[in-house]
Structure 1
Amino acid sequence: MIVIFMKTDYLAIDVGGTNIKYGILDHSGILLFNDKVPSNCHCLDEFYQILDKIIRLNLKRIKGIAVSVPGKVDVRTGTVYFGGALPFLNGATIKKILENKYHILVGVENDGKSAALAELWLRITK
């Protein structure tokens, strides 16, 4: 018998100046798991190393990644400008880097807008 596991969940990552919080959500937005790691990074290489650890732990079960970051974000390209508390994020092409590395759909949005969009989505779906 062959068992096929379908990737049905999503990884949400919230990048902050103190911690990088992350969780696994199902298609209904129910939080299945969450954790956090210190965001004690000072450059893009360190930042991507932290994201890599989080993503690799969850890659087998997810079909998409949502990343919320401080600063202005071009959501079409997933590029961050003026990284707020994390100035090294300025110019970071998070969407492109993660999609090319993991071959999975990635969305990047400003952290404040992410929270507002999540609230709106929850109100509409309930």
Structure 2
Amino acid sequence: MNAVGVDIGGTKVAIAVVETSGRILKEDVIPTDKSVAPSEMIDRINQKIEELIKETRMALSDIKGIGIGSPGPLDSKNGIITYPPNLENWRNVPIVQQVKEYFNIPVTLENDANAAAMAEKWLGAAKENEDFAYMTISTGIGAGIFAEGKLLGGSRGNAGDIGHTVVDPSYGQCPCGQYGCLEYIASGTAIARRGSELAGEELTTQQVFERYHAGDEVIKPYINDVFRIIGVACVSVINTLDPEKIIIGGGVSKVGEPLFKAVRDYVSQYALNPDGRKTEIVPAQLDQNAGVVGAAGLCLNQ
């Protein structure tokens, strides 16, 4: 059997037809148009899914289901995207119902970090692990958590929203209202904002990291502190959930070894349990397609 994976983001929606092996048969991307009603955007997603299935020359009966990964907060049990900050006009959108009415096959909705964690469990860095956390650090920060071999969803599917854990109130007020949230300090968005303030000119996240690598004396201490704060977040995850491994993905993880070394050093000193200090901290293996492959995996690996 095959399945369709849909990965909804703030700027684009990735859609793919995926085999049981995890191989992508057909894929495409459409822009996330925030100027139209969510129902219109979902219509475009449905049409693109239909187009991709036709291109594979498969019948709808060959598709086990459609898995959707979306930014939270959401209500996965009732199939509703409730309040994602980066999809400003998507409020209480019954996406599962609209997709199911169009195709009349099973449709599953999960938090996007959960979908990516599913992909890492199925095909990536967590194939051997029953207890692990996948942490994505990109526009925002979130985590997908596997406990005893099962994806940890929570009562509404929002478990793992670690981006709004308070780590250092001195960094100021997050848009969520709390002071010093992890996401407000260490996400790609935060790094671009704070790096620009420190440099006195508009910089992208990539440009901030370029200056860090070049040894910029203003940027370097800040980025080193970001790495420390990601270490703090990992220690909190280890102390709370006792995982075997933490996998870090998302755009910020592309900075590579300096980040991983700093986080491993921090964890090896501060995790409470001596065994917890040896928790593996590794890069994601499926970053590019993790969301869409994991979303399909929600149907294929049930």
TM range (shorter): 0.7 to 0.9
Query: Could you tell me which residue of structure 2 aligns to residue 103 of structure 1?
Result: 104
What is the alpha-carbon distance in structure 2 between the residues aligned to residue 41 and residue 53 of structure 1?
Answer: 18
Could you tell me how far apart the structure 1 residues matched to 2:27 and 2:101 are?
25
Q: Name the count of aligned residue pairs.
A: 118
Q: Which residue of 2 is the match for residue 37 of structure 1? A: 30
Residue 109 of structure 1: how far off its partner (Å): 0.9
Structure 1: unaligned runs, 5 residues or longer:
1-7
Residue 41 (structure 2) aligns with: 47
Match of 1:13 in 2: 6
Maintained 8 Å contact 2:4/2:66: yes
Aligned to 2:203: none
Amino acid at match of 1:49: D
Q: Equivalents in 2 of 1:38, 1:100: separation in Å? A: 23
TM score, norm. by length of structure 1: 0.81
Equivalences for 1:17-96 in 2 at 5 Å? 17-42=10-35, 43-57=37-51, 58=53, 60-61=59-60, 62-96=63-97
Verify the 8 A CA contact 1:20 1:36 in the aligned structure 2: yes
Q: Distance in 2 between matches of 1:92 and 1:113?
A: 19
- Per-residue deviation, residues 61-96 of structure 1 (Å, max 9, x unmatched): 523111111112222211111123112222111112
Three-state SS of the structure 1 residue aligned to 2:122 is helix
Residue type of the partner of 2:65?
A: G
Alignment-derived partner of residue 113 in structure 2: 112
- 1:40 and 1:80 map into 2 onto residues whose CA distance is 16
Greater share of residues in helix? 2
| CA distance, structure 2, for counterparts of residue 9 and residue 72 of structure 1 | 28
Distance in 2 (alpha carbons) for counterparts of 1:101 and 1:22 = 16
What is the identity percentage for the equivalent residue pairs of Structure 1 and Structure 2? 27
The 8 Å contact of residues 77 and 96 in structure 1, kept in 2 or not, is answered as no
Say which SS state the counterpart of residue 40 (structure 2) adopts. helix
**What is the Cα deviation at residue 101 of structure 1?**
2.5
Q: Which moved more, 1:15-24 or 1:28-37?
A: 28-37
Which blocks of at least 5 consecutive residues in structure 2 are unaligned? Answer: 129-302
Q: Which moved more, 1:14-23 or 1:74-83?
A: 74-83
* In structure 2, distance between residues paired with 1:50 and 1:101: 12
Amino acid at match of 1:90: R
Report the secondary structure of 1:89's partner residue. Answer: coil
1-structure distance, mates of 2:38, 2:17? 24
Give the aligned residue type for 2:115.
Answer: S
Q: In the TM superposition, what is the alpha-carbon distance from 1:116 to its structure 2 partner?
A: 1.2
Q: Secondary structure at the match of 2:89?
A: helix
Cα deviation, residue 112, structure 1: 1.4
**CA shift at 1:108, angstroms?**
0.7
RMSD: 2.0
**Higher CA-based Rg:** 2
TM-score normalised by L of structure 2 = 0.36
Secondary structure at the counterpart of residue 69 of structure 2: strand
Shift of 1:53: 1.4
